[in-house]
């Protein structure tokens, strides 16, 4: 058994914001710039908020455009040196437009709006800059972009600073889009103030393609706390690999799509070093590790190089090769908490397993604790829903 402190590379930013006083920028009759008066009294009049020239705009302030005496025909909101386009939505009556998401801090935006009314056209523009937050919130997301994972893999959003209020947590959840090739119901759960995880109600369908976008840039997650960068990931769900390990029978039964593909003789934790019972996932794989009892608070008990290691818990439970215990495998439990397998079985299992594959252990006296690794399946669906700040499930949108 090996314990290791785990972490995740993060990236997203938060800060205290000074809300700018912002008026409107208007243009009319024939293409005036921001703040210009209309040339014809009966021409369509366009108004933009924030007004052109405004500095230190709060990132959570929406950008709005309205048309008086006419309709909007187009609105573009661009930012940065590459003039990237931000999303927005035109009202059904064509008289107003509003940005879809919060704004990036420390960024210059330009709005260009066009409208028409009584046969006349008008153009208005506004250029403004958002404030620079003094505090920054970094974030990381798992699975990695482009990764193929098992059917039990959760989505993890990890934050470098705590989001301690319910309002902040609700804002974070509402800012995350989940899209799937085969939409299923899921929900978010706050593992801590710095981690929120998503899982489907049941295991992911094999072959599912998933895209997650966290619109954190400019998100107000607390008093003076703003995100600075969006975070996204796209991943694919691999085959339905489920392994059931029976500590009393000393066997591991491995299935692929419901079909048993291998039965392995194993040895689990001996008395006093019991293995965990519960549903876990394969968290990571390492071909070579030195198992050192000092990492579990018992220096000098053992220090052994091991091969074909598949991690199941943060606290140090692995499935790994154990040539020294092959006589006990299938007969007795003699390990320090890991799942010992023969070199050939361990190598096969290592090659077969994807991160996120499901592993369920039964027959021990030690229950898996929620949070000892990504452990979304240690809770019932009802209990999982209770960990959401919104208290409601998420119905994913179709993946385009």
- 162 plus 219 within the same structural domain: yes
Answer whether residue 6 is part of any domain.
Answer: no
Give the range of the structural domain holding residue 151, as residue numbers without chain letter. Answer: 139-238+382-398
Cis previous bond, 143, omega within 30: yes
Average pLDDT, the chain: 89
320: annotated active-site residue: yes
Number of domains within the chain: 3
Residue 338 appears among annotated catalytic residues: yes
Domain presence at residue 8: no
> Where is the domain boundary, 104, 129, 154?
129
- The answer to the question of residue 7 being in a domain is no
**Rounded (5°) CA angle 221-49-40:** 170
pLDDT of residue 353 exceeding 50, the answer is yes
For tokens 């960024």, what's the residue?
A: 107
Residue 74 lies in a domain: yes
Q: What angle do CA 286, 292, 294 make, to 5 degrees?
A: 135
Tell me whether residue 342 is in a domain.
yes
Looking at the structure, tell me whether residues 266 and 210 fall in a common domain.
Answer: no
- From 129, 163, 186, the end of a domain falls on 129
Residue 152 and residue 216 in one domain: yes
Which CATH number do you get for residue 117? Answer: 2.60.40.3780
Same domain, 100 and 144: no
Decide if pLDDT at 276 tops 80: yes
pLDDT band at 6 (very low <50, low <70, confident <90, very high): very low
> 234 — phi, psi (to 5°)?
-130, 135
Helix, strand, coil tally for the chain in percent (to 5): 10, 40, 50
342: its two tokens: 């023969």
Same domain, 247 and 371: yes
The arithmetic mean of pLDDT across residues 249-262, rounded, is 98
The answer to whether residue 1 sits within a structural domain is no
Question: Do 117 and 191 have their domain in common?
Answer: no
- Report pTM: 0.84
Q: What is residue 298's predicted lDDT score, i.e. its pLDDT?
A: 73
At 137 the pLDDT is 83
* Residue 292 shares a structural domain with residue 333: yes
Structure confidence at residue 294 (pLDDT): 75
Q: How far are the Cα atoms of 15, 59, 135, 207 from residue 108, in angstroms, in the given order?
A: 17, 11, 19, 41
Residue 283 sits in the same domain as residue 368: yes
How confident is residue 230, by pLDDT bands cut at 50, 70 and 90? very high
Catalytic residue among 215, 241, 250, 320: 320
pLDDT at residue 157, rounded to an integer:
98
pLDDT in tens, 62-115: 999 999 999 999 999 999 989 999 999 999 999 999 999 999 999 999 999 999
Q: Is residue 194 part of a domain?
A: yes
| Residues 350 and 246 reside in one and the same domain | yes
**How many percent of the chain have pLDDT more than 90?**
81
**Residue 291 is part of a domain; what is its CATH number?**
2.40.440.10
User: Are residues 276 and 320 located together in one domain of the fold?
Assistant: yes
Q: Which of 24, 273, 336, 338 is catalytic?
A: 338
144, part of any domain:
yes
Residues 339 and 245 reside in one and the same domain: yes
Is 250 found in the same domain as 364?
A: yes
In the chain, % of residues over pLDDT 70: 89
């Amino acid at each position: 058994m090996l314990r290791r402190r785990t972490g995740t590379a993060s990236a997203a930013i938060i800060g205290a914001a000074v809300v700018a006083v912002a008026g409107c920028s208007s243009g009319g009759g024939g293409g005036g710039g921001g703040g210009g008066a209309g040339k014809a009294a009966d021409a369509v009049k366009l108004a933009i908020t924030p007004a052109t020239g405004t500095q230190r705009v709060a990132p959570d302030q929406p950008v709005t455009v309205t048309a008086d005496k006419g309709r909007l025909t187009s609105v573009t909101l661009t930012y940065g040196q590459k003039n990237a386009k931000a999303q927005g939505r035109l009202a059904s009556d064509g008289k107003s437009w509003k940005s879809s998401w919060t704004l990036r801090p420390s960024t210059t935006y330009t709005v260009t709006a066009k409208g028409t009314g009584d046969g006349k056209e008008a153009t208005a523009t506004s250029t403004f800059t958002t404030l620079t937050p003094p505090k920054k919130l970094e974030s990381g997301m798992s699975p990695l972009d482009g990764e193929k994972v098992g059917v039990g893999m959760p989505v993890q959003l990890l934050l470098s600073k705590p989001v301690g209020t319910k309002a902040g947590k609700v804002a974070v959840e509402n800012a995350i889009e989940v899209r799937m090739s085969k939409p299923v119901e899921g929900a978010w759960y706050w593992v801590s103030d710095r981690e929120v995880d998503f899982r489907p109600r049941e295991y992911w369908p094999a072959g599912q393609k998933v895209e997650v976008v966290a619109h954190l840039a400019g998100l107000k997650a607390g008093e003076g706390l703003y995100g600075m960068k969006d975070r996204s990931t796209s991943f694919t769900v691999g085959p339905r690999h489920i392994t059931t390990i029976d500590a009393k029978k000393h066997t591991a039964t491995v299935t692929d799509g419901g079909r048993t593909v291998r039965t392995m003789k194993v040895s689990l934790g001996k008395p006093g070093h019991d293995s965990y019972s519960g549903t876990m996932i394969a968290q990571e794989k390492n071909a070579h590790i030195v198992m050192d009892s000092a990492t579990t608070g018992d220096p000098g008990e053992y220090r052994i190089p091991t091969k074909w290691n598949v991690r199941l818990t943060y606290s140090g439970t692995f499935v790994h090769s154990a040539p020294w215990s092959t006589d006990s495998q299938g007969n007795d439990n003699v390990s320090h908490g890991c799942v010992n397998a023969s070199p050939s079985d361990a190598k096969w299992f290592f090659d077969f397993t994807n991160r996120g594959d499901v592993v369920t252990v039964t027959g021990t006296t030690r229950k898996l604790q929620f949070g000892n690794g990504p452990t979304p399946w240690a809770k019932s669906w009802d209990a999982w829903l209770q960990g959401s700040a919104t208290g409601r499930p998420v119905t994913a949108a179709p993946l385009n």
